A and B are shown apart, each in its own frame.
Chain A
Amino acid sequence: MATMPASASASDLLKSFKLKTKQQELLIRVSILCLVYILAFITRLFSVLRYESMIHEFDPYFNYRTTLYLTENGFYDFWNWFDYESWYPLGRIVGGTLYPGLMVTAVLIYRILRFLRFAVHIREVCVLTAPFFASNTTLVAYFFGKEIWDSGAGLVAAILIAVCPGYISRSVAGSYDNEGVAIFALLFTFYVFVKAVNTGSLAWCLASAFGYFYMVSAWGGYVFIINLIPLYVLVLLITGRYSMRLYVAYNCMYILGMLLAMQIRFVGFQHVQSGEHMAAMGVFFLMQVFYFLDWVKHMLSDTKLFQAFLRITVTSAVAVGGIALGLGMVSGYISPWTGRFYSLLDPTYAKDHIPIIASVSEHQPTAWSSFMFDFHILLFLFPAGLYFCFKRLSDATIFIVMYGLTSMYFAGVMVRLILVATPAVCLISAIAVSATVKNLTVLLRSKNKVVQTGSTKGSGGSKSSSKALLDQSQPFQKNGAIALLFGAFYLLSRYATHCTWVTSEAYSSPSIVLAARGAHGNRVIFDDYREAYFWLRQNTPQDAKVMSWWDYGYQITAMGNRTVIVDNNTWNNTHIATVGRAMSSYEDEAIEIIRSLDVDYVLVVFGGVTGYSSDDINKFLWMVRIGGGVFPVIKEPDYLVNGEYRVDKGAAPKMLNCLMYKLCYYRFGEMMTEYGKPPGYDRARGVEIGNKDVKLEHLEEAFTTSNWIVRIYRVKPPNNRW
């Protein structure tokens, strides 16, 4: 025995390590999940690697600034913060007008890391918050997929959502915005609610209430949850799927969720008073009526009597509900739907009524190409998944179908809501992929088993029946299955490459730093925004007031540390319209407005030298529209020639002499921008400007960045009378 061959002992050792099938599966599943978790994180790091660890875009700068305030001053100061630096002279009650979830999350992570002695800067935490939560979302997607279909679908859902461009667009490193954590919260709430409906367990209800609370604290999109869930419950009621589980889940989630949500100051009593939340309350009362009827039905043995009772109760319940709603509306206790909500339901509403919403590019109706761009093959898999869901209808699949359909509608209304649809699309597509692949592999494997006769005896009736089915099927079935499998894998691999390409090309640019290709193929960086903001920060008086179009408000306060007149939190339309009016008036009229607002510096963004197209001249018509919406003196046709917007010689005289034109093109007429073109050639619009002799009377050039992208003017003090 002592001379046992070494190979035998090794194989023994292997045998003792050999895992059972279940353990193997667990190991594979856990390792796939780990890999997906890491993948979701690292695929969002393109911008950090290519540029630097920095905050992107516009809104994230506000979030970053508030987070800094929170780290420095603590939670109570943050909650009571009155910000003098924005909306001068009105100011902003920050604690009461923001969703604090994101900032609190980031600070919590920061504190934990600091406690564990990781000497990180809060900026790094903010930059990486979105990728971190995206990774967590993949886990939730796995469990959600497992809940509605099976673990295979869960895995596929996790992989799909990890790289889906629709989600990546809002969660790359540096895009420190509410959506980054909100999608996690949204999916988590839905998952836990479905789990609660499936189990009827109070623990899951509680979890969904807390998930909802987190969502409310993080993003205004919580309105979607509080409308979708009642709608779902309603559909279940109508389809006759009412159960005690549903009753427990909804009531517990609604009551607790409502109480918790009202703790967020920005939401507060809106949750029981505003029109957007009424559906949830109505369904809540309906549930009670339903339960009551159920009880009465149980007590009454006579069906006829019950029918009569049912009619009376339902009519009276509906009547009472209608009267209550009507009274609430009339007395003003229940506020009507807001314009934003209307614009969601009706895509044309904003264009006619609220130009400020319509002026934001991400509020535009979605083009087909951007669906294709953001979903790629998921767009085709989505209907297939819906088919599978309908084929195996359950409480959970009904939920995902409803989530998918409603969110797809909203995604069609507004570009930015593609984000909300992404998890549903990924989950439903995952069902399609998983079900198809599973069917195909079952075909392949069972055919093999036919060849090895008898080895699978006793493995159950289902297999033998499929075997019987196989025997009747076509001879090329195996080859066909193989071909289809390869096709599926090819499609999925295309999806992966497409996602990576989109992430790297389209969604990883910080938009603060602009990069272009130079003449020799080298990368040229335009860092003008930060140049200007840092100049403001260092070389203007501490209390200087800066007027600019609202897009740059958050960036100026966060990076320039100076007071602004309007910013991206567009809560006061009149104030924005005043700035729009100042920009679109003649200089001597504008100076009156500027003086009345106590402005010291005026900042404009100008792309004429570099060819940067999203500058203030291209945004100018929106200023005119928004200004004209409040002040009818400003009329859009005055700035157009035959309905055409021009800046060259043929431009409207009012256009050539308004403040915005003057500030952008001041001394631009002397500038040679392109070889072979006359001086004053605007590269962004490709024309020679119409008014080269711009004279400023009340303003003077204070600073222009090296590529002219940002121009800052100082407001001169009034002239002495003598």
Chain B
Amino acid sequence: MEAPIRAREALGFILFSLLFSICRSSSLNHLLISNAERRIDLSSHIVKVYLTLKVENAGSTPTSEVFLSFPPTQVDHLATVEALVTKGKRKKTTLVRLDVKPTELPDAPNDAKYFAIYLENPLKSGESTTLEVLYLLTHSQEPFPAEIAQSESQLVYYRDSALILSPYHIKQQTTFIKTPSTKVESFTRVEPSNRAGTEIKYGPYEDHPPYSFSPILIHFENNSPFAVVEELVREVEISHWGNLQVTEQYTLVHAGARHKGVFSRVDFQSRPTLNGASSLRYLLARLPPRVHSVYYRDEIGNISSSHLRTDSRKSELEIEPRYPLFGGWKATFVIGYGLPLQDFLFETSDDRRYLNFTFGCPLLETVVDKLTIKVVLPEGSKDPSAVVPFPVEQHLETKYSYLDVVGRTVVVMEKKNLVPTHNSHFQVYYTFKPIFMLAEPLMLASVFFLFFVACVAYLHIDLSIRK
């Protein structure tokens, strides 16, 4: 197994060095990375990569952009990229978030994709700065074997490169890979590399030219449940009578190794750690505080196995699907809850209102493949606009609810490939006249009034033909 990998790696190495020599992009060559440290955390099914880069400007012109590059296979699974810079000296360091945007560079070798980090102050010639980069990868651990029986544990492959793919020359680099347990079946050796406990260390490697690449494959045990929400539709309905109703429809799947053969309840009940170790038994949803009227149901009725714990800062809803989810098993369900409106709805100075609500999925440690948020504004509201910290697809819809005549405006936002770090706030601005709140009660009152008038009229009018 090792030999072919070595060969491929060597080939890749040569290829990249060749490419590097061919396309020496002029805008890039004056930066170099003097020291890089990468920590890859594989303990859950979301791969977290922390990158510490010490960037040095070796050129003559100041620059404010630092590029990160990713192989195309990784970009598809890339959920989020964040960059921070440390400010201050010694004890008074503060972290400042930097802008990161996907960009295109000419002559990208092998379809490598780029993200640009925009520094606050341009990096002058000879200066250096330290960047902290965090990026998350989803669907990057491939179960192997792809089908397991109930008593087997789940083994997965993780593919990456021993060397950091970068458009810059890296003087020194080290990679640490943290596995969930000490059980590692195999890993590609790129000397110097060694394994101790749950950590595999690659490096330090010295002086690697840009676009150096050395594929590695790690085969290890990961029994954390691969909870993936294939589709999540969140509907947030604003009622100016004081309630915010949230309805979330989930299609949950266990995306780990597929379950094969028998499911034995007696084994599952008597030895839960040995049998069905990778199964998904319960999920934890973190809801806002002061949540009320929580329900958890599916198409065929209420699911009674859930617990709600509330305190002043947060509410935690522990939900159990109807059955434990083994690899490849699915469950669909709906969670709904009400929230006090004053916690989420505010007024701007120019008399507009805005809703401030979290974007992502409240379930912990889950990947959402496709998320749709629908903000249902009250009837009669105008000029809706949404402000989201990351790019999303948007459009408007109309929904009819109780006693609606013209329908409610719905702001729909869609995004693919979400991880828990996307749980940041978004705002929807709109204008609304409070007089519209009275429309429905007035309608009801007038209907009853007319009914009684009709009754009185019927009792007093003689409609018979004969006298």
Interface residues of A (CB under 8 A from B): 51-52, 54, 116-119, 512-513, 525, 527, 530-531, 533-535, 537-539, 559, 667, 670-671, 700-706, 708
CA distance A667 to B264 in the complex (A): 9
Contact mask for chain B residues 323-350; partner A; CB cutoff 8 A; 1 contact, 0 none? 1000011111000000000000000000
Q: Is B265 a contact partner of A704 (Cβ separation < 8 A)? A: yes
Q: Is B323 a contact partner of A705 (Cβ separation < 8 A)? A: yes
Contact for B263 among A116, A533, A701, CB less than 8 A: A701
* Residues of chain A contacted by B297 (CB below 8 angstroms): 52
* Residues of chain B contacted by A667 (CB below 8 angstroms): 264, 266
Report the minimal beta-carbon distance from A600 to chain B, rounded to whole angstroms.
15
How many residue pairs bridge A and B at CB < 8 Å? 75
Interface residues of B (CB under 8 A from A): 261-266, 270, 297-305, 322-323, 328-332, 400-405
CA distance A537 to B165 in the complex (A): 45
CA distance A704 to B275 in the complex (A): 14
Q: Is A702 a contact partner of B262 (Cβ separation < 8 A)? A: yes
Contact for B265 among A52, A117, A534, A706, CB less than 8 A: A706
Report the minimal beta-carbon distance from B463 to chain A, rounded to whole angstroms.
16
CA distance A51 to B402 in the complex (A): 25
Q: Is the interface of B mostly helix, strand, loop or mixed?
A: loop
Further 8 A-B residue pairs, CB within 8 A, beyond A667-B264, A701-B264: A531-B323, A534-B298, A535-B329, A537-B300, A538-B329, A539-B329, A701-B262, A704-B266
Q: Is A118 a contact partner of B402 (Cβ separation < 8 A)? A: yes
Contact for B402 among A52, A117, A701, A706, CB less than 8 A: A117
* Residues of chain A contacted by B403 (CB below 8 angstroms): 116-118
Q: Is B404 a contact partner of A539 (Cβ separation < 8 A)? A: no
Residue of A nearest to B440 (CB): A117
* Residues of chain B contacted by A54 (CB below 8 angstroms): 301-302
Q: Is B402 a contact partner of A538 (Cβ separation < 8 A)? A: no
Report the minimal beta-carbon distance from B229 to chain A, rounded to whole angstroms.
14
A-B contact pairs, 25 of them (CB 8 A): A52-B301, A117-B402, A117-B405, A118-B402, A119-B400, A119-B402, A513-B301, A530-B300, A530-B301, A530-B322, A531-B323, A533-B300, A534-B298, A534-B300, A534-B322, A535-B323, A537-B300, A538-B329, A538-B332, A539-B330, A701-B262, A703-B265, A703-B323, A704-B264, A705-B265
When A117-B402, A117-B404, A538-B332 are in contact, do A703 and B298 touch as well, CB less than 8 Å?
no
CA distance A117 to B443 in the complex (A): 12
Q: Is B263 a contact partner of A531 (Cβ separation < 8 A)? A: no
Q: Is B261 a contact partner of A700 (Cβ separation < 8 A)? A: yes
CA distance A670 to B305 in the complex (A): 26
CA distance A706 to B300 in the complex (A): 18
Closest 6 pairs (CB-CB, A-B)? A704-B265, A538-B330, A52-B302, A531-B322, A559-B300, A54-B301
CA distance A537 to B330 in the complex (A): 9
Report the minimal beta-carbon distance from B301 to chain A, rounded to whole angstroms.
5
* Residues of chain B contacted by A527 (CB below 8 angstroms): 303-305, 322
CA distance A118 to B400 in the complex (A): 9
Report the minimal beta-carbon distance from B116 to chain A, rounded to whole angstroms.
43
Residue of B nearest to A700 (CB): B262
CA distance A525 to B265 in the complex (A): 19
* Residues of chain B contacted by A530 (CB below 8 angstroms): 300-301, 322
Report the minimal beta-carbon distance from A534 to chain B, rounded to whole angstroms.
5
When A118-B402, A671-B266, A701-B263 are in contact, do A538 and B331 touch as well, CB less than 8 Å?
yes
Report the minimal beta-carbon distance from B319 to chain A, rounded to whole angstroms.
14
**Most chain A CB inside 10 Å of its own CB: which residue of B262, B270, B299:** B262
Report the minimal beta-carbon distance from B192 to chain A, rounded to whole angstroms.
47
* Residues of chain B contacted by A533 (CB below 8 angstroms): 300
CA distance A531 to B323 in the complex (A): 6
CA distance A118 to B401 in the complex (A): 7
Q: Is B323 a contact partner of A534 (Cβ separation < 8 A)? A: yes
CA distance A117 to B405 in the complex (A): 8
CA distance A535 to B265 in the complex (A): 14
* Residues of chain B contacted by A513 (CB below 8 angstroms): 301, 304
Residue of A nearest to B304 (CB): A525
Residue of A nearest to B259 (CB): A539
* Residues of chain A contacted by B261 (CB below 8 angstroms): 700
Q: Is A670 a contact partner of B330 (Cβ separation < 8 A)? A: no
Report the minimal beta-carbon distance from A453 to chain B, rounded to whole angstroms.
39
* Residues of chain B contacted by A670 (CB below 8 angstroms): 266, 270
* Residues of chain A contacted by B401 (CB below 8 angstroms): 117, 119
* Residues of chain B contacted by A116 (CB below 8 angstroms): 403
